[in-house]
Structure 1
Amino acid sequence: MGSRLFTRRRFLVTTASSALASYMLLNRPALAVATDAARAGNFGELDATAAEGIDLYIENQDLLVDGSIGRAITINGSVPGPVIRMTEGKDALIRVHNRLPESTSIHWHGILLPFNMDGVPGISFAGIPAGETFTYRFPVRQNGTYWYHSHSGFQEQRGHYGQLIIEPAQNDPVDYDAEYTVVLSDWTFENPHNVFRNLKTIEGYYNFQRPTLANIDDQMQATGMALGEVIDKRLAWQGMRMDPTDIADVTGATYTFLMNGKAADENPVFLAQPGQKIRLRIVNASAQTFYDVRIPGLPMTVVQADGQNIKPVETDEFRIAVAETYDVVVSLPDDRAYTLFAETMDRSGYARGTLAPREGMSAAIPERRRRPMLTMADMGMMMNGSMQGMDGMQGMSSGSHRSMEMPMDRHAEGGLPTKNLIERVKHGPAGHGPASITMAQTAYRRLDYPGAGLGDDGWRVLTYSQLRARERPPLRRPPTREFYLHLTGNMHKFIWGFDGKKWSEADMIRFQYGERLRINMINDTMMSHPIHLHGMWMDLYAGGDLDTNPRKHTVNVQPAELLTVDVTADAPGQWAFHCHLLYHMDAGMFRTVAVVRLLEGESIDADA
């Protein structure tokens, strides 16, 4: 299919039609369901760089999810879809057959490819109409662990996702004896359109962990505060019209949490003999859920982040944001089972599996921890260069702690600095209207901060400050232009956006072809946002330098955080740039990036 550029109106028509079809389908009268329905989690494996390519069949299907019938979107009859393998240096050939009564799509998350193969309806192609076939064909220019998913409506929430593994053309620097796919996700038996409507209608609809009179004693015990201190703290949050338990929009109140399509009591088993080096390729394919992953009693060595090899880091636990991938290597020291435990960030549930020498084995399931609460540090409350109040310096990264007033766009002929970047910026006088009801006084780097609810157990927890590229990525150079981008939101109305604007209200962001560009993201909200740029790598400033800072396709921006990425604009066309929390993206936290010849120009036609 030829590359065609799309207007916002055309995009809205395309996505609205898909959403309406999904809504009507899922709200049809309930039908009798056969008792022999297939179980979720029975997926296969395909090689997309084989000479004949592969075929994927997208359709609605009744599946057993956690023992109950759910109406899912399956890929080749399964949720997740099949593991798709490719080999670096070859061409991928994938025929997608749409058997749904609505348009669909597949986005190859983190893959560098021509923009008209990227799979975003209304941005890079028109979508795959009902009953039709679309052929994806592109050269494979990288290796590592990635994933794929629908970019149409809420199809991703209904099971339209799977893992993607690309074998390196040369020897793999990671040493392992066996590998396993681990796809984390969230599932609801509710219609996703109802979930979205609930979020828009009632603030905190799925949050049943809010501070109340009934749990005030629990908070006193958890924090060690006296009654008056707890009441004062609650009144302070109420005065800001904020809730310190706003950790997750959608929780275990409606979600079932899955590992490879299976709920916790179904316990998927990964066979491993003592002494073997086992590589776990872990993908967070959730719509909304962050997971804290650990194997009690067993250290993990992180060897890849977002498909890119990093210098190995041994840790006990890591938080994986929506759309991120981490590869870890583990080794069983003895002939017994160990629990692979993925606890949700808000502690409302968990997914789990078992590493064991034999089928049928299991290990103890850890007791769930108290749900975390946000602090003044998450509001960027700073005084005299330190965090205000009892929260101390929580989340401040080490370094010079230089600060500055926030600039707007800035150009530097000789190149911008690439190490020892400023540690914090003041918000400045600009507001972002009713679409942003929180603005941290100061945004600061939180590279050493593991996230709310982590780091207090005595365990080692992975942070971005520990990520270092195994080798210097090619063509990396200092950027010559930078701009600041605010992540904004209004929880009361469930409006999300960039710089106070929803996608429907905003202009395209322009990258000049060939430039090296810096984006300083400032999170003005109290929620973490996994931000994904299509088609180009983001080089994350993690406290290192041009040689060592890691490359990522998705970066998690924590509350009140200043997070910096550098981008080489080497991919002509139009690309999506968005929060990967599905309901945040649909509510407006999405922009179109146009790679242009001149900054005031239109997108470069990739076929021209």
Structure 2
Amino acid sequence: MTLNRRQFVAGTSALLAVPAIGRAATPPKTIEARSGLARIAPDSYPETEIWGYDGGVPGPEIRARQGETVRRTLLNSLPQPTAIHWHGLRVPNNMDGVPGLTQEAVQKGDKFQYDLPLKDAGTFWYHSHNQSTEQVARGLYGAFIVDETNPPDRDHDITVLLDDWRLGQDAQIVDDFGSIHDWTHAGRMGNYVHAHVSPITEVLTNQRLRLRLVNVATDRIMYVSVRGANGKLIAYDGMPVTQPEDFETLVFGPAQRVDLVVDVTSDVGEAVQIILHERDEAFVIAELPVSRRGTTVARGTIEALPPNPVSVLKDVSDALTVPLVMEGGAMGGLRQGSYKGQVMSTDELVREGQIWTFNGIAGLPKNPLASVSRGDVVRIQIKNDTVFPHAMHLHGTHFQEVLADGSLGPLRDTILVDRIETREIAFVADNPGDWLFHCHMLSHQAAGMKTWLSVV
């Protein structure tokens, strides 16, 4: 494998790092979805026209403390209706931001106030959930950080948002969001991977860093490692692990996150590097230069974070079991499926822009995948009968994977299910409402991969 700092343009990605844009007040603040300009490509190119919260990309980092309530009034100044989903936050159902399920889309010029009680500490994010294949691809996302009451020992707390842009030669976003090829294959793959890094003053040798890595891409799976620092993984998708884990190359499906605590091992004049792995090459997409020497005293043990107040399962033998079979896409063997209550052939589904199904149904169905009572334990068997991976995201709660030996994995809100693979998740249905369950490859969601669960 070769390590490469050059710009990479080979039909899949051009990889470069650019720093970007952190405690939110209790009274409502307005966050405006509007157009703007952002420096995405190198300085030799023009700025890129984007859609962003407050006109920037990423949007302003929202930062608050566990137990607080954050209030944001969305003002829509876009040419399309929009809404905000608060990804990973266990909020009341009417605050979840899913048009057609939990609220009406916010029309141009209108407002909607979100009241967000922060039950959990961790790394979360927010993004558009209306026409999201286009709106997220244009830049409508931002980091949402909820600090622990007693944060862990660290010198810097750094958020890294990993995005994937499809840019033309003029550095503008390519306007082909409805490409049926993208929708039926791996999704909208960009040609420019860009790392937004929260600004810091300087990094010293032996300092301790908390790195919060978030994949905000619409469809791209990212393979990432860290060079110039050693440490542990302390959280998945905002939820602390019981014991900090060793890590090497991290695999991020769209929307997945990890928190790392690492100690700087690079010397002065070197850097801590975030590395993206593409096939047999590796690319530096973010660097934190080491400016001078710090302490020579070894840091202490990296401790586990305090757990969040989420129901953790020990046994799922009596769980309500719900099957979910994925079919469709290119080379998927889909012959027909139901859409809006009508059985359609493959050709008819394609004409409707719906080519993926869950249990034979494309698009958001009239009836839920399951209707359960509050407090029920639910186990969903996800069978991927397609030739593409899918990042399945459950709104409203976090789940655990049921592993092959019957044990239960760490809490997550998004799971990457590989091609021709079956994985199972389980959770306590303790948040009442109608909750979306969908593929976070947003092109796949737009082309049919979404359903919902009712908790009453």
The TM-score range, normalised by the shorter chain, is: 0.7 to 0.9
Pairs within 5 Å for 1:87-102 = 87-102=65-80
Pairs within 5 Å for 1:361-372 = none
Helix, strand or coil for the counterpart of 1:357?
strand
Which of 239, 249, 258 pairs up with 2:194? 258
Matches of 1:518 and 1:469, distance apart in 2: 27
Amino acid of the structure 2 residue aligned with 1:529: H
Contact 2:18-2:194 within 8 A present in 1 as well:
no
Which of 419, 423, 442 pairs up with 1:582? 442
Matches of 1:168 and 1:341, distance apart in 2: 25
Contact 1:489-1:500 within 8 A present in 2 as well:
no
Helix, strand or coil for the counterpart of 2:227?
coil
Pairs within 5 Å for 1:140-539 = 140-153=118-131, 154-169=134-149, 171-172=150-151, 174-189=152-167, 194-199=176-181, 248-251=186-189, 254-260=190-196, 271-296=202-227, 298-310=229-241, 311-333=243-265, 334-338=267-271, 340-343=273-276, 352-358=285-291, 474=311, 476=313, 478-479=315-316, 480-491=319-330, 495-504=355-364, 507-514=367-374, 515-539=376-400
Q: Taking structure 1 as reference, are residues 471 and 121 closer, same or farther at Cα in structure 2, changes over 3 Å only?
A: closer
What is the match of residue 301 of structure 2? none
More strand by share: 2
Helix, strand or coil for the counterpart of 1:182?
strand
Contact 2:311-2:428 within 8 A present in 1 as well:
no
473-482 or 516-525, which deviates more: 473-482
Helix, strand or coil for the counterpart of 1:295?
strand
Matches of 1:477 and 1:131, distance apart in 2: 48
Matches of 2:260 and 2:429, distance apart in 1: 31
Helix, strand or coil for the counterpart of 2:206?
coil
**CA-CA distance at 1:276 after TM superposition:** 0.8
Contact 2:268-2:291 within 8 A present in 1 as well:
no
Matches of 1:122 and 1:96, distance apart in 2: 17
Amino acid of the structure 2 residue aligned with 1:56: I
Contact 1:497-1:588 within 8 A present in 2 as well:
yes
Helix, strand or coil for the counterpart of 1:113?
coil
Amino acid of the structure 1 residue aligned with 2:34: E
Q: Taking structure 1 as reference, are residues 261 and 179 closer, same or farther at Cα in structure 2, changes over 3 Å only?
A: closer
Matches of 1:98 and 1:82, distance apart in 2: 16
Contact 1:573-1:595 within 8 A present in 2 as well:
yes
**CA-CA distance at 1:346 after TM superposition:** 5.7
CA RMSD of aligned residues (A): 3.0
**CA-CA distance at 1:563 after TM superposition:** 1.1
State, as a whole percentage, how many aligned pairs show the same letter.
27
Helix, strand or coil for the counterpart of 1:585?
helix
Matches of 2:427 and 2:363, distance apart in 1: 21
Helix, strand or coil for the counterpart of 2:443?
helix
**CA-CA distance at 1:474 after TM superposition:** 3.7
| Superimposed CA distance per residue, residues 200-219 of structure 1 (whole angstroms, 9 cap, x where no aligned partner) | 69x76xxxxxxxxxxxxxxx
Contact 1:532-1:578 within 8 A present in 2 as well:
yes
What is the match of residue 559 of structure 1? 419
Q: Taking structure 1 as reference, are residues 261 and 584 closer, same or farther at Cα in structure 2, changes over 3 Å only?
A: farther
Matches of 1:53 and 1:505, distance apart in 2: 34
Matches of 2:181 and 2:275, distance apart in 1: 25
Q: Taking structure 1 as reference, are residues 290 and 351 closer, same or farther at Cα in structure 2, changes over 3 Å only?
A: farther
Matches of 1:156 and 1:68, distance apart in 2: 21
Contact 2:160-2:197 within 8 A present in 1 as well:
no
Helix, strand or coil for the counterpart of 1:199?
helix
What is the match of residue 64 of structure 2? 86
Matches of 1:497 and 1:347, distance apart in 2: 34
Q: Taking structure 1 as reference, are residues 571 and 189 closer, same or farther at Cα in structure 2, changes over 3 Å only?
A: same
Matches of 2:197 and 2:361, distance apart in 1: 36
Amino acid of the structure 1 residue aligned with 2:196: N
Matches of 1:290 and 1:300, distance apart in 2: 23
Matches of 1:509 and 1:80, distance apart in 2: 34
Q: Taking structure 1 as reference, are residues 192 and 135 closer, same or farther at Cα in structure 2, changes over 3 Å only?
A: farther
Matches of 1:349 and 1:288, distance apart in 2: 20
Contact 1:338-1:355 within 8 A present in 2 as well:
yes
Contact 1:144-1:307 within 8 A present in 2 as well:
yes
Contact 2:31-2:54 within 8 A present in 1 as well:
yes
**CA-CA distance at 1:261 after TM superposition:** 7.7
What is the match of residue 541 of structure 1? 402
Structure with the bigger RCO (C-alpha within 8 Å, sep 6+) is 2
Contact 2:18-2:286 within 8 A present in 1 as well:
no
User: Is 1:62 the equivalent of 2:37?
Assistant: yes
Contact 1:79-1:159 within 8 A present in 2 as well:
yes
| Superimposed CA distance per residue, residues 267-290 of structure 1 (whole angstroms, 9 cap, x where no aligned partner) | x88832111111111110000111
TM-score, scaled to structure 1: 0.60
Contact 1:488-1:525 within 8 A present in 2 as well:
yes
Matches of 1:90 and 1:271, distance apart in 2: 30
Helix, strand or coil for the counterpart of 1:157?
coil
**CA-CA distance at 1:592 after TM superposition:** 2.2
Q: Taking structure 1 as reference, are residues 510 and 128 closer, same or farther at Cα in structure 2, changes over 3 Å only?
A: same
Amino acid of the structure 1 residue aligned with 2:321: E
Contact 2:162-2:215 within 8 A present in 1 as well:
yes
> Unaligned stretches of 5+ in structure 2?
1-16, 293-303, 332-349
| Superimposed CA distance per residue, residues 325-353 of structure 1 (whole angstroms, 9 cap, x where no aligned partner) | 10112222232423533426567995611
Contact 1:58-1:98 within 8 A present in 2 as well:
yes
What is the match of residue 102 of structure 2? 124
Q: Taking structure 1 as reference, are residues 76 and 519 closer, same or farther at Cα in structure 2, changes over 3 Å only?
A: same
> Unaligned stretches of 5+ in structure 1?
1-38, 205-247, 263-267, 360-467, 597-608
What is the match of residue 106 of structure 1? 84
Amino acid of the structure 2 residue aligned with 1:491: A
